[in-house]
Amino acid sequence: MMPEKTIRIGSGAGYSGDRIEPAVDLIKEGDLDYIIFECLAERTIALAQLQKMQNPELGYDPFLEERMKACLPHCVSNKVKLISNMGAANPIAAAKKTAEVGRELGLADLKIAAVFGDDVISMLDFSANKFLESGDSLSVLGDEIISANAYLGVEGILMALEDGADIILTGRVADPSLFLAPLVHEFGWSMEDYPLLGKGTALGHLMECAGQVCGGYFADGVKKQVPNLGNLGFPIAEIGSDGSFHITKLKDSGGMVNAATCKEQLLYEVHDPSAYLTPNVVADFSNIHFKEIENDKVEVYGASGKALTGKLKVSVGYHDGYMADAQISYGGSYALERGNLAIEIIKERLQTKNLLVEDILFDLIGVNSLFKEDVSDINPQEIRLRVAAKTKDREEALELVNEVETLYTNGPAAGGGVSKSITEIIAIQSILIDKDQVKPKVEYFKS
C-alpha cells in the first residue's frame, strides 16, 4: 500500500565542480519538491576558510553564483526548494550573494537562509582533543591550525524549513543530513524514531553523489555498459511518510539506475555498513536490498537505524608543509634504464646535500606509477620519471625540484620536458566533540 504522502527529491551535484545542466533538467522536469546540492568535500572547507581570511565576503563555493543563476528561475517557477552546503566556510556571504543573484534575475521575495554554527575553532581544547587517526593531541600543531568544522545534523536546516525558507545554504553538514532534513520536516518524523531516520539517511547516502547512482563512475566499457554517459542524468528519489522509497531518473536522460549502480553507491565511503555514523542516527545499511521495479527505477528495502552517539565529527584543517613534484621524460631505447639511473642520481644527491624530506616517491609513469608491486618485464619506449616529495619548508621543496631539473645537463642521456611544481599542503584530520556543545544558528536574507 502506498503511504499517504510522498516527497520527490532530486540530487543536483555530487561535488562542487559537477555539471550544472542535469540539475537544471531535474528542476524543470523532475516534478520535484526539493533539490539538494552536495558540494563540500572533506578538505574543501579548510581551503574555503583560508579564502575567507583573505576576504570576509568570500569562502563559499566558487560555483555558487553560476549554479544559482542557472537554477533559481526554474526553482521559483516549479516551486522547488533548494538546499545546499555551498555556504562552505561562509554561509552568510553565500546567502547574501544568492539574494543578489535573485534580485538580478527579477525574483523578488525569495527567503534565503544561512545555516551556520559548524565553525568550532574557538571551542577547541588543544590538550584534551585528540586526533582520531594519529592519537596526537591538537597541541602538537599549535599555530598551524586553520579551521575546525563540525558535521552538523538536520537541526539548523529544520529551523529554516519551519520558518518557510525557499533556499537554504549551510556550511559543514553531514552529507545525508541535507536529504534527511526535508523528510523530517515534511513528514513530522520524531528525532527519536531511529529506524525512520536510518531510512532517510540511506536515501541521502544513495543520492549524495548525484550521477554516481545513475551509472556515473560505473562503466568499465566491457562488462558494465552504461548508455549515453555524455548526457548522464542525476537521480530523483520518491519517498513516502513511512520511509519507503525508490530511486529513479528522468526518462530522456543518459545513464541507468539498477541494483548494481545502487549497490556500488551504497557502500561508497562506508566503513561498517551496520553502523554508519551521522549526527542524527547511527544508520544500519546491513540489511538493505534493492529491487528493480521498472526500467531505471529501484525500490530500496531494509534500511534502519539505532540511537546516535552524542558526538560530532570535526574536520580540523592545518598547514602541513609543502609538496614538491618534478618530472622528466626519457624516450626510445633504454628509456627505463635511464629513468632508473636518474632515480639513483637523485637519491645520491639527496644524501650528499643532506636534503630533508618527510616522504618521497619515485614514479616511473607508464611502468609503475599506480601498482608498484606488479611490475615485471616491461620494456617501454617512453617513460616519465616523477619525483614527488613532502617537505617541511618551501626551500627544501625548491631544492628538490631543482635537483630534477639539473638532470638536463648532469643526468642520463636525452632527458626532456621537465616540469616542476610546489604546493602548500592543507592537511585534514578528525576529532570528536560533544554534540551538546554545538548550536546551529540561522539567519535570513531576502532577494
Partner 1 sequence: MKLKDIAHSRTGDKGDTINISVIAFDEKDYPIIKKQVTTAKVRRFLGETVKGEVVRYELPKLGAMNFVMQKALRGGVTRSLRLDKHGKTLSSMLLEMPLNTND
Count other C-beta atoms under 10 Å from residue 184's C-beta. Answer: 23
- # residues contacting partner 1 (CB under 8 A): 49
Closest to partner 1 by CB, 398 or 427: 427
Residues 355, 332: Cα–Cα separation, whole Å: 32
Query: Least distance in Å: CB of 404 to partner 1?
Result: 14
| Residue 376 within binding range of partner 1, rule CB under 8 A | no
Which of 290, 300, 403, 407 is close enough to bind partner 1 by CB under 8 A?
290
Contact with partner 1 (CB under 8 A): which of 43, 392, 439, 446?
A: 43
Helices 394-405 and 335-353 pack at an angle, to 10 degrees, of 140
Beta carbons of 278 and 153 less than 8 angstroms apart = yes
Which region, judged by CB under 8 A, interacts with partner 1, from 9-17, 164-172, 182-190, 285-293? 285-293
Question: Is residue 398 within the footprint of partner 1 (CB under 8 A)?
Answer: no
Closest CA to 262 of 206, 218, 209, 208: 206
- Residue 277 sits in the site that holds partner 1 (CB under 8 A): no
Question: For residue 15, what is its C-alpha cell?
Answer: 561535488
Closer of 341 and 357 to partner 1 (Cβ): 357
Scan residues 328-367 and list those touching partner 1 (CB under 8 A).
359-361, 363, 365
Gap between the Cα atoms of 290 and 112, Å rounded: 37
Q: How far is residue 288's CA from residue 267's CA, in Å, rounded to a whole number?
A: 11
In eight-state DSSP terms, residue 108 is: T
Q: Hey, CA dihedral for 84, 88, 89, 93, is it positive or negative?
A: negative
Return the exposure string of 253-292: e unless at least 16 CB atoms fall within 10 Å of the residue's CB, then b: bbbbbbeebbebbbeeeeeeeeebbbbbbbbbbeebebee
Q: Which is nearer to partner 1, 128 or 425 (CB)?
A: 425
What does the DSSP assignment read for 354-370? Answer: T---SEEEEEEETTTSS
Query: Would you count residue 39 as binding partner 1 (CB under 8 A)?
Result: no
In the sheet that holds 235-240, the strands lie side by side as: 289-294, 297-301, 245-249, 235-240, 6-13, 34-37, 81-84, 167-170, 111-116, 441-446
CB of 318 to partner 1, least distance (A): 10
Residue 45 Cβ, how far from partner 1 at the closest point, in Å?
Answer: 12
- Of 373, 376, 377, 379, which one interacts with partner 1 (CB under 8 A)? 373
Binding-site member from 29, 193, 264, 443 for partner 1 (CB under 8 A): 264
Options 93-101, 122-130, 339-347, 372-380: segment touching partner 1 (CB under 8 A):
372-380
Using alpha carbons only, give the angle 139, 60, 320 rounded to the nearest 5 degrees.
30
- Residue 217 lies near partner 1 (rule: CB under 8 A): yes
If binding is defined by CB under 8 A, does position 4 make contact with partner 1? no
Task: Supply the minimum distance, in Å, between the C-beta of residue 171 and partner 1.
Answer: 19
Residue closer to partner 1 (CB basis): 191 or 260: 260
Are 385 and 365 in contact, with CB atoms under 8 Å apart?
A: yes
Q: Does 389 bind partner 1 (CB under 8 A)?
A: yes
Is 271 an interacting residue with respect to partner 1 (CB under 8 A)? yes
Q: Is 57 or 269 the residue whose CB approaches partner 1 more closely?
A: 269
State phi, psi for 307 to the nearest 5 degrees: -60, 150
Coil/strand/helix, residue 425: strand
Q: Taking CB under 8 A as the rule, does residue 372 contact partner 1?
A: yes
Binding mask 129-168 for partner 1 (x = CB under 8 A): ---xx-----------------------------------
Residues of this chain that interact with partner 1 (CB under 8 A) are: 42-43, 132-133, 217, 220, 223-224, 260, 263-264, 266-274, 286-290, 302, 320, 323, 359-361, 363, 365, 369-374, 386, 388-390, 425-430
